[in-house]
Amino acid sequence: MCHFLKQGQVELPRPHHRRTPAPLAHSRGDQCSPRLDPLRPPPRARRRSLQNRSGGASSSQPPSAASSSRSTGTCNAVLAPFFAAQLFPGGGTASLLVAYAGFAVGFVARPLGSALIGRLADKRGRRFGLTLSMSVIAAASLLLAVIPSRDDIGIWAAVLVVVARLVQGLAYGGETPTVAAYVTETAPPRHRFLFSGISYGGIIIGSLLSFGVVTVLNAVVGADALADGAWRWGFVLAAVIGVAAVWVRRCAPESDAYEQETAAHGTQRPPVREVFTRHPLACAALFLMSVGGTVAFYFSLVYLPVYAEHVGAADQASASSFMTVVFAVTLVAMLLAGMLTDRVGAIPVLRGAYLALFLGMLPLMIGLEAGAIGFHTVAIALAVLVAVPVATTNVLSGLLFPIAVRAVGAGIVGASAIALFGGTFPLLAEALTAAGHTSAIPYYVAATMALALAGTFVAARVPGFAAASRPSGSGRATDSEEDQ
């Protein structure tokens, strides 16, 4: 596995000479493969080698292990209706609201995680950040699986859930931008957005696993047993996958672009405040697009079964079971969206997707509530549209910031938007439903699509981004980013 990762690693051309090992080569991760050495073939030979093998998948393989972290995050939202009564006080809607509040707490910690782990990833390497964040995520997943019920330890059950979510939030905040930085720096320039879709496929695979676990447990043990404690197996699976992902990431080679940056400038990095003072347009563009992307994701791919039950369009259990099909469609659509973006460019494709979501959200939801459009049709349509921003987000956020502040910059800005709008979405939606305003939810989602659409126009003004995100300019991305 590690040897395969090494051979598939995509590197930037460097002078034809031998170099001494980077400090990273002495880490324990290199025990997985003795061929993670500093002696590289000449650039021309490397390019021929890459052209003769499908090494693309291998370089994106470490980031694709993010399915573990995403399965844990999605598990919290998907399994909340089942574990709410066991772990949180109250009952019915009250305990579910508290459970969603606990879900939102993890997002609050994400910006801090981006500042801490993202900074470490910029200073000590992408592989270090990926391994550290996944280790923490796996440990927190296991904690969620073994927390005693409130009948056993009372309010401490809810406290432990909140602690686990805070720890997860810190790790997510550093893991997501580090994955984005790694993919941006290692993917072949002509297929950069396809690789972005492959790497972000971990989200869809994780969500697919989450809904798949619910479907299997519901069929095997029944809904009552699922609510009585069988939901814990979802977090056990997330923890197991997390351990496997840690091993894969320990074996992954470091980003060559990062090594070149370190060789040229050392491990000193600009102060975090320069992310905002020197790259204000990049920050604004990423924030706006992240708002739309995260709300579209959580509404269309996580909360939709709950919404469908609220409006009487479908039973939540059957709708959740169908989501396995929806995620499979989303995964395929993401790969196609990545390929289209590599051919057409990121800005026009994103504008088309956000415009379609903005114009189509209300008609789809009105038709669903009226019974004129079936749940399956609505779910598939939203999945195809949401696949575009989901597929492009990793490289998109990476291209907006230079290498020296890529992980911390993309992390803080993106995590802040997700914390404010993504993590709070299920809670806000349930609060609106409890107040009798379920029909207002689609209007809120459509409004965030308008913000994301505006973000694409701001992104076009970021120095170097428009050229880097076009097919003709994508090959210059990592060379010109330093001028941003």
* pLDDT tens, residue by residue, 76-114: 667 777 777 777 776 666 666 776 676 677 778 888 888
Tokens 């993670």 sit at which residue?
Answer: 36
| Per-residue pLDDT at 71 | 53
Q: Between 85 and 299, name the one with better pLDDT.
A: 299
| Per-residue pLDDT at 91 | 61
Q: Are the C-beta atoms of 165 and 76 separated by less than 8 Å?
A: yes
| Per-residue pLDDT at 253 | 84
Question: Which residue type is seen at 462?
Answer: V
| Per-residue pLDDT at 446 | 96
- The fraction of the chain above a pLDDT of 70, given in percent, is 78
Q: What is the CA radius of gyration of the chain?
A: 22
Residue 28 has pLDDT above 50, yes or no: no
Q: Give the SS3 label for residue 342.
A: helix
- The fraction of the chain above a pLDDT of 90, given in percent, is 27
* Rounded Cα gap, residues 177 and 219, in angstroms: 37
Average pLDDT over residues 365-390: 94
Q: Are the C-beta atoms of 92 and 160 separated by less than 8 Å?
A: no
Q: Give the SS3 label for residue 55.
A: coil
Average pLDDT over residues 370-388: 94
Average pLDDT over residues 385-389: 93
pLDDT tens digits along 156-189 = 888 888 888 888 888 888 888 888 888 888 888 8
Q: Between 24 and 346, name the one with better pLDDT.
A: 346
* Rounded Cα gap, residues 174 and 117, in angstroms: 5
Q: Are the C-beta atoms of 117 and 175 separated by less than 8 Å?
A: yes
Angle at alpha carbon of residue 407, lines to 277 and 27, rounded to 5°? 140
* Rounded Cα gap, residues 251 and 8, in angstroms: 13
Task: Of 5, 9, 1, 22, give the one whose Cα is nearest residue 264.
Answer: 22
Q: Between 265 and 40, name the one with better pLDDT.
A: 265
| Per-residue pLDDT at 90 | 65
Residue 134 has pLDDT above 70, yes or no: yes
Residue 440 has pLDDT above 90, yes or no: yes
* Rounded Cα gap, residues 339 and 355, in angstroms: 20
Q: How far apart are the first and last CA of the chain?
A: 37
Indicate the range of 94-103, 289-298, 404-413 predicted with least confidence: 94-103
List the CATH code of the domain at 60-253+272-473: 1.20.1250.20
Cα–Cα separations (whole angstroms), residue 257 to 2, 187, 254: 20, 11, 9
Paired tokens of 106: 């993890």
Q: Are the C-beta atoms of 392 and 195 separated by less than 8 Å?
A: no
Average pLDDT over residues 452-480: 74
Residue 323 pLDDT class (50, 70, 90 cuts): confident
Paired tokens of 392: 């492009």
Would you say how long the chain is, in residues?
Answer: 484
* Rounded Cα gap, residues 177 and 118, in angstroms: 7
Residue 73 pLDDT class (50, 70, 90 cuts): low
Paired tokens of 278: 């020197």
* Rounded Cα gap, residues 315 and 15, in angstroms: 61
**In 345-464, which residue ranges form alpha helices assigned H by DSSP?**
346-370, 375-400, 406-417, 425-434, 441-459
Residue 30 has pLDDT above 80, yes or no: no
* Rounded Cα gap, residues 335 and 338, in angstroms: 5
Q: How far is CA 141 from the centre of its chain?
A: 17
| Per-residue pLDDT at 363 | 95
Paired tokens of 318: 């059957």
Average pLDDT over residues 333-358: 94
Q: Which helix (H) or strand (E) holds 130?
A: helix 126-146
* Rounded Cα gap, residues 119 and 129, in angstroms: 9
* Rounded Cα gap, residues 353 and 403, in angstroms: 28
Cβ-Cβ contacts under 8 Å for 97 (sequence gap 6 or more): 90, 427, 430, 431, 434
Residue 68 has pLDDT above 70, yes or no: no
Q: Are the C-beta atoms of 174 and 132 separated by less than 8 Å?
A: yes
pLDDT tens digits along 115-125 = 888 888 888 88
Q: Between 245 and 481, name the one with better pLDDT.
A: 245
Average pLDDT over residues 342-358: 94
Neighbours of 235 (CB within 10 A): 26
Cβ-Cβ contacts under 8 Å for 365 (sequence gap 6 or more): 378, 441, 442
The average confidence (pLDDT) of the chain is: 78
Tokens 């393989």 sit at which residue?
Answer: 61
Q: Between 24 and 343, name the one with better pLDDT.
A: 343
**In 226-315, which residue ranges form alpha helices assigned H by DSSP?**
232-251, 256-265, 274-278, 280-298, 304-310
Indicate the range of 127-131, 315-319, 415-419 predicted with least confidence: 315-319
Residue by residue, DSSP assigns 348-382 as: HHHHHHHHHHHHHHHHHHHHHHHTSS-HHHHHHHH
Residue 70 pLDDT class (50, 70, 90 cuts): low
Angle at alpha carbon of residue 168, lines to 388 and 161, rounded to 5°? 120
Average pLDDT over residues 372-396: 93
Handedness of CA 333, 385, 114, 185 (dihedral sign): positive
Indicate the range of 102-106, 294-298, 304-308 predicted with least confidence: 102-106
Tokens 């109250």 sit at which residue?
Answer: 90
| Per-residue pLDDT at 53 | 31
Paired tokens of 360: 């189509």
